[in-house]
Amino acid sequence: MTKLVVTRDPVFGCELVESPRDRDGYGMDGRERAHRAAWKRVHGEIAAGMELGHRCRRRNCRALHHLELVTRQKNEQDKAWKRRAREVTCPRGHAMATNRVVIPETGGVVCRKCNQEAKEMR
């Protein structure tokens, strides 16, 4: 098995799989995309019709608190920055007004409080 190279982004809280990556830029873990593999280890199988969206919009990020199980339709809608900017709470219910962390390059929006909690769990 290819060794996974993962770096942590201390500013945005991402866990970025630098290599291996697939053609679309997703991090790979064995034969599976790394974010899906990481999710399944904790939450189990992903239901049919559901997708794992990246709140940070970085395809090679596998930080669990940046992943969101959503319908395909919602995943597409969430790619719109305008929609993200209107969010009142993060998926865990933190107020986005005070916890919003914007990742400008990708247009992602993550929650500062979730980032903090993930850091403390390590």
Q: How near is the Cβ of 5 to Zn ion at its closest, in Å?
A: 16
- Rounded CA-CA distance 37/54 in Å is 14
Structural contact between residues 45 and 51, judged by C-beta atoms closer than 8 angstroms:
no
Task: Find out whether 53 and 39 touch, Cβ atoms under 8 Å.
Answer: no
Name the region of 51 (left: φ>0; alpha: ψ -120 to 50; beta: rest). beta
Asked if residue 14 binds Zn ion (CB under 5 A), the reply is yes
Q: Which helix (H) or strand (E) holds 34?
A: helix 34-43
**Shortest Å, Cβ 116 to Zn ion:** 9
Find the binding residues for Zn ion in span 96-115 (CB under 5 A): 111, 113-114
Quick one: 1 or 69, whose CB is closer to Zn ion?
69
Q: Are 111 and 97 in contact (CB under 8 A)?
A: no
Contacts with Zn ion, 15-44, as mask; x by CB under 5 A: ------------------------------
Sole binder of Zn ion in the list 40, 74, 79, 94 (CB under 5 A) = 94
Give the residue with the Cβ less far from Zn ion, 10 or 49.
10
- Residue 64 is which amino acid? L
Which of the residues 52 through 71 are near Zn ion (CB under 5 A)? 56, 61, 63, 66
Can you give the binding site for Zn ion, defined by CB under 5 A? 14, 56, 61, 63, 66, 90, 92, 94, 111, 113-114
